[in-house]
A and B are shown apart, each in its own frame.
Chain A
Amino acid sequence: MITVENLTKIYGKRTALDHVSFEVPEGEIFGFVGPNGAGKTTTLRILAALLEPTGGRASIGGADVAKQPDLVHSRIGYMPDFFGVYDQLTVGEYLDFYAACYRQGKQRRGKVVNELLVLVGLAERRDQLVDTLSRGLKQRLCLARALVHDPVVLLLDEPASGLDPRARVEMREILKELRVMGKTIIISSHILPELTELCTMIGIIDHGRMRATGPVHDVIRQLSADRRLRITVVGDKEAAVAILKPMPAVHQVDIANGTIEATFEGDESTAADILQALTAGGIKVSAFSQVDGGLEEAFMRATSEEVG
């Protein structure tokens, strides 16, 4: 559905995007993760045909963003990271205005506006002035605005930024509903935990380069070369550490809160070997478990490796 090939964007001397490539099949939710200034917004703006790439190609459903911006605009719903709202307009008029901008007839507009207000939970605020809404509600209104023409693709740039935890949960519920509707969605964020649950795919970008891309679990596995063990022993912890430290597969050993945490490189059998070595050394192991570092860890790892 969304194809990005060698996308490059240069602002003066600064390279914002450096040959970025990824693909999002139909119906997938692609989490676009990276620290601030990594190139997420630039990529999304190019995909929304709002910015010309310096090089490379991007297309939405086969429509090239540089050559067929009108076709692209009819297929995407775009929610920018910063957006303003017009003052002196009510919530209903605001949505009606954008529906009219998408050349929808008057009757259809009324129906669409009603449905969207229900979807984002703003039905009772229909006659309230837009600039009196709270930030969370504005964000929901902006999401509704991105949906007025029933696009197949949604490009959401930091939809949850600046929201309180409750509003964030509500935003996530709305996005889940959209996933059920079969939309292809790209969500950018620098906040990771909210993406692990929602996304089916993930792409990690840093300094304009894609660090990893693919299904969520693949990316985590790809990035987590080092795995972590949490070991609880009865008795002398130092003895256990003395056994663990010389092992070549084990990288780091710490004692924290009465448990031993160790990182190691390898697979399941390496973990079994470590346990065997401990018990062979006479250590009474009461608990031995692998800790999933998760996306946060993978992300930190991917973005801290190389700076340049």
Chain B
Amino acid sequence: MSRVAAAFWNPIVAKEYRSRMRTWRSPLVMMIYILLVAGLGYAVFSVIAYSIGFGGAGNYGQALFTYLVLFQLVLLTFITPALTAGAISGERERQTIDLLFVTRIPPFSIIWGKALASMSFVVLLLVLSVPIFSLVFLFGGIEVDQVIYAFLVTIVFALTLGLIGIAFSVLLRRSLAATVASYVAAFVLLFGSLGFGLLFPTDVDPKSKKAPTPPALVYVSPIIPLFTIANNGWPFTTYGIRYPNNDIQFQQGGATVCKPMPNGGMACSSTGGGAPVSVSSSVTFQQTTGNTIPSGLFEGWEPWQATIVMQLAICLVALLVSGFFLPPVRRFRLRRAPAIASTG
């Protein structure tokens, strides 16, 4: 075995594979997972196939893909914390962790071995779902690279959840507490970051030539990136953005609301019964190319790139926290050990 392979492959991975696949639980989880994804695929297909005026087959494909990708994401949000939150705390509860600590396996390899083993299971689930996703190509409207990006985002998000689960497993010592904390963290990452966009939206700068975007933290959640991948475009125009009051011009009996479009220009519409108005101060935003984020921290990036970078940063933090707190005898200290009084 080469050195590189040896660094990734350690006895813990092999052992975890053995014990995981020898139980009835794993095939059961796989079966339920496939049934759920397939069931949702069938339901979405049934609904859109009979809805009138939905457009061509390409729209079927896109809608099906969007629903499948997001449903898969939510399913993995439920599954992944359960796979890893007991990784270290379970060893503590079973009293096997000391037996690992006295071997020559470095603590970091213990973490990495556990993470790799559970991530392999997630990848296995994703591979199992590929045949269902391939149905999308029957309708078209989705390119292979979109599928690859969507799966990449999903895997990286699962990895983040997995490493967060392990970090809590190291910190909290009890599997139950670690599981609860991991689920809370998982759903905060998935939906909480979207809520952040609603609570603290970006204020539109009228002087800026660039189209406004939601705050960068919103991209922590893979939901918007998956939407943009699946729909090949930015689906929201107002989410996470606060427009200055002077864009709303009150008229008799109604108002005209003008909104900058993400890809440039200004769209005005009248509300209420007022007469159409001409807009006195028109703002023209710079055109952006493709699906890239027009402004802000991740200007010029595709949303999926932003989410992957932020997820990997969270992974790194989780790994460092686990690596620091796992060893029983620490090499580095946060504070000096207290001095002991000398007694007879």
Looking at A26-34, A70-78, A118-126, A249-257, the stretch in contact with chain B turns out to be A70-78
A30 and B120 alpha carbons, distance in the complex (Å): 46
* B96 near A48: Cβ-Cβ < 8 Å: no
Contact of B98 among A50, A55, A88, A97 (CB under 8 A): A50
- Chain A residue with minimal CB distance to B338? A54
A52 part of interface (Cβ distance < 8 Å): yes
- Chain B residue with minimal CB distance to A103? B104
A48 and B101 alpha carbons, distance in the complex (Å): 9
| CB under 8 Å from chain B, chain A span 63-120 | 65-66, 69-70, 73-74, 76, 78, 80, 82-89, 93, 97-98, 100-103
Contact of B340 among A8, A84, A100 (CB under 8 A): A8
- Chain B residues bordering chain A, tally (CB within 8 A): 28
Q: Which DSSP category, helix, strand, loop or mixed, fits chain B's interface?
A: loop
Contact of A80 among B12, B23, B98 (CB under 8 A): B98
B209 part of interface (Cβ distance < 8 Å): no
Residues on A with C-beta less than 8 A from B10 are 100
A145 part of interface (Cβ distance < 8 Å): yes
| CB under 8 Å from chain A, chain B span 323-344 | 328-330, 337-340, 343
B96 to chain A, nearest CB (A): 5
Residues on A with C-beta less than 8 A from B100 are 101
Contact of A102 among B94, B95, B103, B339 (CB under 8 A): B103
A65 and B102 alpha carbons, distance in the complex (Å): 12
Contact of B101 among A50, A66, A100 (CB under 8 A): A50
Contact with B along A203-237 (1 / 0, CB 8 A): 00000000000000000000000000000000000
Residues on A with C-beta less than 8 A from B101 are 50, 73
- Chain A residue with minimal CB distance to B21? A88
* A50 near B102: Cβ-Cβ < 8 Å: yes
B99 part of interface (Cβ distance < 8 Å): yes
From known contacts A70-B104, A102-B103, infer whether A49 and B18 are also in contact, taking CB-CB under 8 Å: no
A8 and B337 alpha carbons, distance in the complex (Å): 13
A295 and B12 alpha carbons, distance in the complex (Å): 44
Contact with B along A52-64 (1 / 0, CB 8 A): 1011000000000
- Chain A residue with minimal CB distance to B6? A103
Residues on A with C-beta less than 8 A from B330 are 52
A261 part of interface (Cβ distance < 8 Å): no
A154 to chain B, nearest CB (A): 12
B276 part of interface (Cβ distance < 8 Å): no
A67 to chain B, nearest CB (A): 9
A69 and B107 alpha carbons, distance in the complex (Å): 12
A299 and B312 alpha carbons, distance in the complex (Å): 59
B207 part of interface (Cβ distance < 8 Å): no
A51 part of interface (Cβ distance < 8 Å): yes
* A10 near B18: Cβ-Cβ < 8 Å: no
Residues on B with C-beta less than 8 A from A97 are 11, 14-15
Contact with B along A1-24 (1 / 0, CB 8 A): 000000010100000001100000
Contact of B95 among A55, A84, A101 (CB under 8 A): A84
* A85 near B340: Cβ-Cβ < 8 Å: no
Residues on B with C-beta less than 8 A from A19 are 343
A49 and B101 alpha carbons, distance in the complex (Å): 9
B188 to chain A, nearest CB (A): 33
* B103 near A88: Cβ-Cβ < 8 Å: no
* A89 near B94: Cβ-Cβ < 8 Å: no
A150 to chain B, nearest CB (A): 13
B3 part of interface (Cβ distance < 8 Å): no
A52 and B331 alpha carbons, distance in the complex (Å): 11
| CB under 8 Å from chain A, chain B span 68-114 | 94-96, 98-105
Residues on A with C-beta less than 8 A from B102 are 48-50, 73, 76, 78
* A51 near B15: Cβ-Cβ < 8 Å: no
A15 and B280 alpha carbons, distance in the complex (Å): 80
Residues on B with C-beta less than 8 A from A51 are 328-329
A19 and B344 alpha carbons, distance in the complex (Å): 8
A84 and B337 alpha carbons, distance in the complex (Å): 31
Contact of B103 among A52, A87, A98 (CB under 8 A): A98
A178 to chain B, nearest CB (A): 17
- Chain A residue with minimal CB distance to B19? A88
Contact of A82 among B95, B105, B340, B343 (CB under 8 A): B95
Contact of A101 among B18, B105, B338, B340 (CB under 8 A): B105
* A89 near B99: Cβ-Cβ < 8 Å: no
Scoring B95, B102, B104 by chain A CB atoms within 10 A of each residue's CB, the highest score goes to B102
From known contacts A8-B340, A54-B337, infer whether A86 and B328 are also in contact, taking CB-CB under 8 Å: no
Residues on B with C-beta less than 8 A from A49 are 102, 328-329
| CB under 8 Å from chain A, chain B span 293-344 | 328-330, 337-340, 343
Contact of A83 among B12, B95, B329 (CB under 8 A): B95
A27 to chain B, nearest CB (A): 22
* A54 near B19: Cβ-Cβ < 8 Å: no
A261 and B206 alpha carbons, distance in the complex (Å): 106
* A18 near B343: Cβ-Cβ < 8 Å: yes
Residues on B with C-beta less than 8 A from A82 are 95
* B340 near A50: Cβ-Cβ < 8 Å: no
* B340 near A10: Cβ-Cβ < 8 Å: yes
From known contacts A87-B19, A101-B105, A102-B103, infer whether A80 and B95 are also in contact, taking CB-CB under 8 Å: yes
Given known contacts A87-B19, A89-B18, A149-B103, what 5 new A-B pairs fall within 8 Å (CB)? A48-B98, A49-B328, A52-B337, A83-B98, A101-B11
Q: What residues of chain B have their CB less than 8 Å away from a CB belonging to chain A?
A: 10-12, 14-15, 18-19, 22-23, 94-96, 98-105, 328-330, 337-340, 343
Q: What residues of chain A have their CB less than 8 Å away from a CB belonging to chain B?
A: 8, 10, 18-19, 45, 48-52, 54-55, 65-66, 69-70, 73-74, 76, 78, 80, 82-89, 93, 97-98, 100-103, 145, 149
25 CB-based A-B contacts, threshold 8 Å:
A49-B328, A52-B330, A54-B337, A54-B338, A54-B340, A65-B329, A78-B102, A80-B98, A84-B95, A86-B15, A86-B94, A88-B19, A88-B22, A88-B23, A89-B15, A89-B18, A89-B19, A97-B14, A100-B10, A101-B11, A101-B100, A101-B103, A102-B103, A102-B104, A145-B99
